[in-house]
Structure 1
Amino acid sequence: MTILVAGATGTVGRALVGQLRDAGHAVRALTRDPARAALPAGVEVVRGDLTDAGTLTAAFGGVEAAHLITFTGAFGDWLTNGPEIVDALVAAGVARVSVLGGWDTGTLEPALDAAGVAWALLSPTEFMANTLVDHAEAIRTTGEVRVLDLGRTSAAVHEADIAAVALAVLTGAAPTGREYLLTGGEAVTLEQKLAAVSDATGQPVTLTRLSEEQARADLAAAGTSAEMIEFTIALESDPPPVGALPVGTVAEVTGRPPRTFAAWAQENADAFRAVPG
């Protein structure tokens, strides 16, 4: 079957493209910039943008299933044109959809429901890859992570496990019509994550715990928006209970345990490793 993957150059999308190809499916990767996609040979890369439904008519043509995302890429920037996206995929006859969701319900989910499309929502609580975004530069350049850290635990999920659940939904191995809450198999603290990164790189990583006032000052000095500063502080000081402990969804769907953070750190060690200067 031919399956379209939106967000194909992101962490989950890229993993899903690879897994679909390994399973023998034809993959059509949707990206704003095909020239920079760097996807595996044999993947059909097409130009398109979920924010512009006019670019999707041709992209959905001949596709039997599609993996979509609810956001544009920026923090808190949800798609506003869900009904137009759904109109395009219904017109093309797309039969099954997996949706990688964000913090809130956007316009895509209710539009899929209203159209009667067979779809499922993937709800990861935290990506392991967030550690790259949040800390890789500091670890590479200084070997130190300076944050407000109150010992919050997170059962972060490997992006390849999210992709594996999406694959099961898209190919009919897992049912539509439900939400899949996705976590890793262990609850770890930031200190434990950094220790795993240190083990993977063979280089020391220091955690410096800041007060809330110090953390706000550091974030502001780094150019962090006021909205993101408040989100970061609230996440640490009053974390939501969901995601703090593992749930068994990945094992239920895939038949194997979730990948560990230590394994993820080994896979991504080069991104954290200091370059001799």
Structure 2
Amino acid sequence: MAVLVTGSTGVIGKQVIEHLGGSGAEVRALTRTPEKARFSGGVTAVKGDLSDVDAVRQAMIGVSTLFLLAPNVADELTQAVQTLSVAREAGVKGVVYLSVFKGAEYVDVPHFTGKHTVERMIEHLDLPVTVLRPAYFIQNDVRQKDPLLSHGVYGMPIGAKGISMVDVRDIGEAAARELLRRERGSNPLPGETYELVGPDVINAQTVVSIWAEALGRPVRYGGDDLDVLEQRLKSVAPAWLAYDMRLMMGRYQQDGAVASSADVERLATLLGRQPRSYRDFAVAMAAAWAKD
């Protein structure tokens, strides 16, 4: 039997596949274009798209464990619910579902509410699922390279309340560990939930301090203007997605997304070490950018 990884060519999917490497598990990677996919040895590319139910049914044949990452699209909820239903019909014994930190609280943010609704399905049907709830990805801030280096500005309007940002490598490792635990179990295992969070509380003040130290130059915060954020995002993404991101940032500014020490320690137990810090990411990126 096999582990099927959805979202396999994206940032998180690649990390999951990398961390599954060398495990001995049969790994299949769902992708719309298997002919273009470049995976390491032992990973089989499988053609499919979560919006195509028949393709998902075909991809699920012979699969015992599923990593479900629904794409950030307008019908994300439909795709996720249908995929879980197909997996259930196919007899898949374990699932790892990528949800979101604070999904139950951010009720006005569409993709948060969608993921929380999927969690409700999992809970009400008592499905054998590990729910992973990642906070804002640290690596999203790779996109701050130009404003930081060209203008000395950190441009993401994260606000003053703080976010327990998480490293995508920790997400991939946590997912792989839970996939393998479920794959190796002789029977379906009870549900689990992990908040995937970093050890730091990153806000406007701490982020500019970290970057100033890492870059060895003054850095200022670009401000909390959500109109500017939305317009910038609309130049590279659909309007509905830009607005979704605006709503998310608005809630970060209003409420923050700070993890408890118990959340951090529970993730540390899963990983067998402390989660990676934002400071380490900034230092590594500054060094890499200096070589460009």
Give the alignment's TM-score, normalised by structure 1: 0.79
Kept after mapping to 2: 8 A contact 1:97/1:170? yes
Kept after mapping to 1: 8 A contact 2:268/2:275? yes
Counterpart Cα distance in 1 of 2:226 and 2:218: 22
Q: Does 1:152 align with 2:161?
A: yes
| Correspondence for 1:263 | 280
| Correspondence for 1:124 | 134
| Correspondence for 2:106 | none
Shift of 1:9: 1.9
Where does 1:1-277 land on structure 2 (aligned, <5 Å)? 2-69=2-69, 71-74=70-73, 78-102=76-100, 103-106=112-115, 108-113=118-123, 116-133=126-143, 135-139=144-148, 141-146=150-155, 148=157, 150-172=159-181, 176-194=190-208, 196=210, 202=215, 204=217, 206-210=219-223, 212=224, 215-219=225-229, 221-222=231-232, 224=234, 225-236=242-253, 238-243=254-259, 247-266=264-283, 268=285
**Structure 1 stretch 113-122 or stretch 250-259: which is displaced more?**
113-122
Shift of 1:151: 3.1
The residue matched to 1:87 in structure 2 has which SS? helix
Higher helix share: 2
Counterpart Cα distance in 1 of 2:178 and 2:200: 24
Unaligned runs of 5+ in 2: 101-111, 235-241
Amino acid at match of 1:171: L
Shift of 1:109: 3.6
The residue matched to 1:65 in structure 2 has which SS? strand
Kept after mapping to 2: 8 A contact 1:120/1:169? yes
Shift of 1:77: 5.3
For the aligned residue pairs, the C-alpha RMSD in angstroms reads: 3.3
State how many pairs are aligned: 267
Shift of 1:197: 5.1
Q: Specify whether residues 252 and 48 from structure 1 end up closer, same or farther in structure 2 by C-alpha distance, changes over 3 A only.
A: same
Q: Specify whether residues 164 and 208 from structure 1 end up closer, same or farther in structure 2 by C-alpha distance, changes over 3 A only.
A: closer
Q: Percent identity?
A: 24
Counterpart Cα distance in 1 of 2:213 and 2:26: 38
Counterpart Cα distance in 2 of 1:37 and 1:265: 30
Counterpart Cα distance in 2 of 1:271 and 1:48: 36
Shift of 1:12: 1.9
Kept after mapping to 2: 8 A contact 1:138/1:145? yes
Unaligned runs of 5+ in 1: none
**Structure 1 stretch 96-105 or stretch 124-133: which is displaced more?**
124-133
